[in-house]
Amino acid sequence: MKLLITGGAGFLGARLARTLLARGHLNGREITHMVLTDIAPPPPDLLSDTRVSARTGPLLVHTDALREEPFDGVFHLASAVSGECEADFDLGLRSNVDSTRALLDALRANVNAGGQAARVVFSSSVAVFGPDPAVPLPAIVADDTLPAPQTSYGMHKLVCEHLVADYTRKGYIDGRAARLMTVTVRPGRPNGAASSFFSGIIREPLAGAVSMCPVSDDVSHPVSSPTRTVDGLITVYEASREAFVGRTALNLPALNVRVADMLDALGQVAGIKVRERVRFARDERIAGIVANWPGGASALRASKLGLKPHANFAEIIRQYIDDCAAAPNADQTLKGMS
């Protein structure tokens, strides 16, 4: 089978690609070719795999060519992140909404030419939920909570959920949207996402650096590890149409934690000196965005597919440490624990 992963050079896309290549199959079919698109080239280890090819540049640049290239399956992860979308309205629309519609139309063109509808997993976000005067935000958002996004990023994700559902209704794709929780702990440097600090307050202290937390320690939020997120995307892909139930998006499993819980777990796993590298300096812009996000989430439909969250945040930290220990630059990544 031939797969397309948009955002395939990013942290989550690359991890998904590695997982699928190691498996060698998806939904009972051998993976023979994988195309990774992103604004940057994929990591060298992925490019060295003879099954992988790359298309570098904005997704909109490649969608015309994709009309001539049928795919069996697509994981659509490419997206401008929350902070970027708030700072540049046009960038967000172009990168998220325009690119998604162009991709869906490329897949539609293949069906109209007599091809088979590709199975598509769209990575939506818990950011589709937010408080509205007419729709109060519950303490825990469920699969059937009415979305009321309060950021451009959340609105883009919701629009694309509905596009995926409608293209599925018309038979142009076999689409399913999965709402990702905030993924932590992400390696590397902070990005433009307002949620970046959820990784930074763990990653930087473990590396020996001070991390500034822009919100108070009583902020609660649903999070998930990279491994559970990738497992969720694959499970959603492999689910039958009947098991997925309908065309509306589902929540992936969440561990609902406060910042204080995360820091307690950091101290438990790595020691009090590492924990003390986190300082608090409120950033009104970030705090304002986070205040409009859910404090927790449930995932009944995902649980029926066999997906579960971690039991506690210490498990997530230990998974990150294990990942770092296996990486080539492990000495630098975890030097703060020595």
| Token pair in block for residue 247 | 């065309």
What secondary structure does DSSP assign to 149-179, as a single string?
--SHHHHHHHHHHHHHHHHHHTTSEEEEEEE
What does pLDDT average to over the chain? 94
How does DSSP classify residue 141? B
220-224 sheet: strands from edge to edge: 182-183, 220-224, 255-258
The residue among 114, 113, 118, 179 whose CA lies nearest residue 149 is: 179
The residue among 233, 34, 10 whose CA lies nearest residue 122 is: 233
Quick one: pLDDT at residue 190?
Answer: 74
Helix or strand or coil: residue 218?
A: coil
The amino acid that residue 196 corresponds to is S
| Token pair in block for residue 177 | 């949207």
C-alpha separations of 255 from 158, 182, 261, 308 in Å: 22, 10, 11, 9
Residues 205-259 have pLDDT tens digits of 999 999 999 999 999 999 999 999 999 999 999 999 999 999 999 999 999 999 9
Helix or strand or coil: residue 65?
A: helix
- Give CA–CA dist 282/42, Å, rounded: 35
Q: What share of the chain is helix, strand, coil (3-state, %, to 5)?
A: 45, 20, 35
Q: What is the greatest pairwise CA distance in the chain?
A: 62
The confidence band for 19, taking pLDDT boundaries of 50, 70 and 90, is very high
The yes-or-no verdict on residue 331 having pLDDT over 50 is no
- Give CA–CA dist 138/12, Å, rounded: 29
- Which pTM was predicted? 0.94
The confidence band for 191, taking pLDDT boundaries of 50, 70 and 90, is confident
Active-site residue list? 153
Quick one: pLDDT at residue 189?
Answer: 78
The yes-or-no verdict on residue 7 having pLDDT over 50 is yes
- Give CA–CA dist 233/230, Å, rounded: 5
* Domains of the chain from N-terminus onward: 2-337 (3.40.50.720)
Location of structure tokens 């995902």: 302
| Token pair in block for residue 236 | 């959603």
